[in-house]
Amino acid sequence: MKPRRIVLYAVLVIFAIFYLMPIYVLFVTGLKSFQQVSLREMWNLPKSITFESFVRAWKGDPSRGLRGLSQNFMNSVYLVIPATLISAMLGSMNGYVLTKWKFKGANAVFAILLFGMFIPYQSILIPLVQLLQKIKLYGSIPGLIFVHCVYGIPITTLIFRNYYSTIPTDIVEASKIDGANFTKIYTKIILPVSMPAFAVVMIWQFTSIWNDFLFGLIVAPNPSVQPITVALNNLAGSYFVEWNIQMAGALITALPTLLVYIFLGRFFMRGLLAGSLAGT
């Protein structure tokens, strides 16, 4: 190998080590028992492997007032599944209208919707809490589902709109002449070819809703309805929790989205690029 190639691979490997370092810490620490956890040995491999930390992070330790993550994990599951499905459906409907039934000012409407993707959510939190309290959705999982569906509209609309604009409008026009109506064109022509876009949108929404922290923190102050990210932060923030449990908890929290990334990486990538390349 030429020296230049060696340098090239060396740089790539050094960066790979940098990106993998936190995962290494999570694994080796999570697999250690409490007796084995010491600050001087945090980079060493575990002497013996035990899943004790994971069990305790999952179930908690009521005698020491430690809440486990199991309930919060399930909260996140109950939250992320309906929110992902509903927001994907909304995005598909919007994308269909904005590309195939363009009305005057459709582009302006799209821009107005899209802006919602970039706003700092701090600028809507105060009225959001007030309104959710009024309509009795505050501090509940349905409340969180609702919030994620609303603020998911911009990105899901964007991805579906980009996708549907690649479907030739001629097909739609021809079916109109053949007498197909709005609903029929949607269910018989558009939806059947939408699966790739649904995959991208659902993976995107699954990941961002699972990883959300701010809405969970603000809308669900009650520990029994908190999503897992908020519970993890509380777990890690309490001083008496050993850090093997913290690391096990962090790994449990990260696991679903990591699995999605590993097994459905292709769609994950496309979602990422669709989200980033709004207009470029």
213-252 binders of another protein (CB under 8 A): 213-214, 217-218, 229-230, 232-233, 236, 243, 246-247, 249-250
Contact letters for another protein, residues 51-80 (x by CB under 8 A): ------------------------------
Nearer to another protein among residue 63 and residue 91 (C-beta): 91
Instruction: Name the segment binding another protein (CB under 8 A); options: 53-61, 66-74, 123-131, 137-145.
Output: 123-131
Give the distance from CA 19 to its chain's centroid: 20
235 C-beta neighbours (distance < 10 Å), count = 23
**Shortest spacing between CB 233 and another protein, in angstroms:** 5
| Segment interacting with another protein, rule: CB under 8 A, options 77-85, 121-129, 137-145, 194-202 | 121-129
Out of 96, 198, 204, 267, the only residue in the binding site for another protein (CB under 8 A) is 96
Question: Which one of 48-56, 65-73, 126-134, 136-144 is the stretch in contact with another protein (CB under 8 A)?
Answer: 126-134
Spatial contact of 207 and 76, defined as CB atoms under 8 Å apart: no
Name the H helices within the chain. 3-30, 52-59, 70-100, 106-115, 122-134, 141-164, 169-177, 182-184, 195-211, 214-219, 228-237, 243-263, 265-276
277 near another protein, judged by CB under 8 A: yes
Options 60-68, 99-107, 136-144, 192-200: segment touching another protein (CB under 8 A)? 99-107
Total of chain residues touching another protein, rule CB under 8 A? 91
Q: How far is the CB of 95 from another protein (least distance, A)?
A: 10
Residue 156 is encoded by which pair of tokens?
């899901």
| Angle between helical axes of 106-115 and 70-100 (0-180°, round to 10) | 160
For residues 178 and 65, is the Cβ–Cβ distance under 8 A?
A: no
Q: Which residues pair with 60 in a beta bridge?
A: 67
Rounded to 5 degrees, what angle do the CA atoms 149, 185, 110 make?
A: 40
Closest by alpha carbon to 159, among 112, 218, 117?
A: 117
Question: 175-194 mask for another protein (x: CB under 8 A)?
Answer: -x----xxx-----------
Q: Based on the shown chain and the rule CB under 8 A, indicate whether residue 274 belongs to the binding site for another protein.
A: no
Toward another protein, which CB reaches closer, 142 or 275?
275
Which residues between 3 and 22 bind another protein (CB under 8 A)? 8-9, 11-12, 15-16, 18-22
Residue among 72, 157, 205, 226 that touches another protein (CB under 8 A):
157
Q: Tokens for 43? A: 């980079």
Cβ closest to another protein, residue 136 vs residue 265: 265
Pick the closer one to another protein by CB: 63 or 181: 181
Q: How far is it, in rounded angstroms, from Cα 225 to Cα 208?
A: 18
State how far the Cα of 67 lies from the Cα of 228, in Å rounded to an integer.
Answer: 12
